[in-house]
């Protein structure tokens, strides 16, 4: 299958316009949208219906039967109160919102997951403890910060990314599976933040800010491909937008430049995947 993957567009119209043009030109089988898709509500109201859905429907009208299957998730910068509308249009068949879900098409399985480990940011709608109730120096725990949708205190305290992934995958055969994560795996080319050499209370900060749970999952279960975003500057610092963990290919579309970062790949030729900055 011919695929296009983008992430972390943050509601930027210029990047979306480039994406929509490329989709109509390239006509992929699948379009993956990897979270942090929306602007802040005070910047562009009704973005989902008035802009995102409207333009994706135009693509569907133009390409007709050839329009791509769309898989999307949200990210840590997307307000959770927007999820209801995302789910509404997913249920109507305009896209597939796959947070903590599995969809099987032909012989391929597609999974999605929004949550990332605790960060220094205030919004906690899509943050959880990673493998235990530990928060890195300089980060705010999921029990603090702000939320646009409140959840039970027990969930804030004890829910983890590790447990969510275990529940999602069960005993599934993942040999032909693709995972759409917002967060990257720990200690890879994809999770390096620009904090090397910085200290908080004399404690050095770990520049690798990805998920240990996601890394361990990839190591032990070896899915075919994992897609990531979240850490914009990582590819600039590491010099690479991809990595490989065992036999699993890992790609990140996050980017900290003004261009649209877009990854094109064929599921049968993952070693030939390319990133384009447009």
Task: Please write the tens of the pLDDT for every residue from 113-172.
Answer: 999 999 999 999 999 999 999 999 999 999 999 999 999 999 999 999 999 999 999 999
Local confidence band at 45 (pLDDT 50, 70, 90 cut-offs): confident
- CA 55, 58, 64: angle at the middle one, nearest 5? 140
pLDDT digits (tens, 9 = 90+) for 3-35: 999 999 999 999 999 999 999 999 999 999 999
Is residue 42 scored above 70 in pLDDT?
A: no
Q: Encoding tokens for residue 144? A: 């603090």
Residue 43 has pLDDT above 90, yes or no: no
Backbone torsions φ then ψ of 239, nearest 5 degrees: 80, 10
User: pLDDT tens across 74-120, in order?
Assistant: 999 999 999 999 999 999 999 999 999 999 999 999 999 999 999 99
154 Cβ contact list (under 8 Å, min separation 6):
none
Q: Which helix (H) or strand (E) holds 21?
A: helix 13-26
170 is in which domain, residue-wise? 2-277
Q: What is the pLDDT of residue 183?
A: 98
Put the strands of the sheet holding 102-105 in their side by side order. 102-105, 108-113, 177-181, 225-228, 248-252, 242-245
Give me the percent of the chain exceeding a pLDDT of 90.
97
Q: How does pLDDT run across 55-70, given as a tens digit for each residue? A: 999 999 999 999 999 9
Does the pTM surpass 0.85? The reply is yes
What CATH number is attached to the domain comprising 81? 3.60.21.10
How many whole angstroms separate alpha carbon 249 and alpha carbon 224? Answer: 7
Domain count, the chain: 1
Mean pLDDT of 232-250: 98
The two three-digit tokens of residue 80, written as one number: 């959770």
pLDDT tens for 189-225 read 999 999 999 999 899 999 999 999 999 999 999 999 9
Alpha carbon 88 to its chain's center: 20
């Amino acid at each position: 299958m011919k695929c296009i993957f983008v992430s972390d567009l943050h509601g930027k119209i210029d990047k979306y316009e480039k994406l929509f043009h490329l989709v109509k030109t390239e006509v992929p089988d699948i379009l993956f949208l990897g979270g942090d898709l929306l602007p802040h509500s005070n910047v562009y109201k009704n973005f989902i219906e008035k802009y995102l859905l409207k333009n994706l429907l135009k693509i569907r009208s133009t390409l007709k039967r050839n329009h791509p299957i769309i898989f999307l998730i949200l990210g840590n910068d997307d307000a959770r109160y927007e999820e209801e509308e995302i789910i509404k249009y997913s249920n109507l068949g305009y896209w597939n919102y796959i947070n903590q879900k599995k969809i099987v098409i032909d012989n391929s399985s597609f999974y999605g997951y929004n949550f990332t480990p605790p960060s220094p940011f205030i919004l906690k709608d899509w943050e959880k403890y990673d493998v235990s109730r530990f928060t890195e120096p300089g980060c705010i725990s999921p029990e603090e910060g702000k939320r646009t949708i409140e959840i039970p205190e027990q969930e804030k305290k004890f829910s983890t990314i590790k447990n969510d992934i275990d529940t999602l995958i069960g005993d599934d055969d993942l040999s032909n599976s693709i995972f759409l994560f917002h967060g990257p795996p720990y200690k890879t080319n994809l999770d390096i933040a620009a904090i090397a050499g910085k200290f908080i209370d004399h404690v050095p900060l770990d520049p690798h800010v990805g998920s240990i749970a996601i890394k361990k999952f990839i190591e032990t279960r070896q899915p075919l491909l994992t897609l990531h975003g979240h850490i914009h500057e990582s590819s600039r610092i590491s010099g690479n937008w991809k990595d490989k963990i065992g036999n699993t290919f890992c790609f990140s579309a996050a980017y900290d430049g003004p261009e649209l970062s877009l990854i094109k790949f064929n599921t049968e030729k993952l070693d030939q995947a390319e990133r384009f900055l447009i």
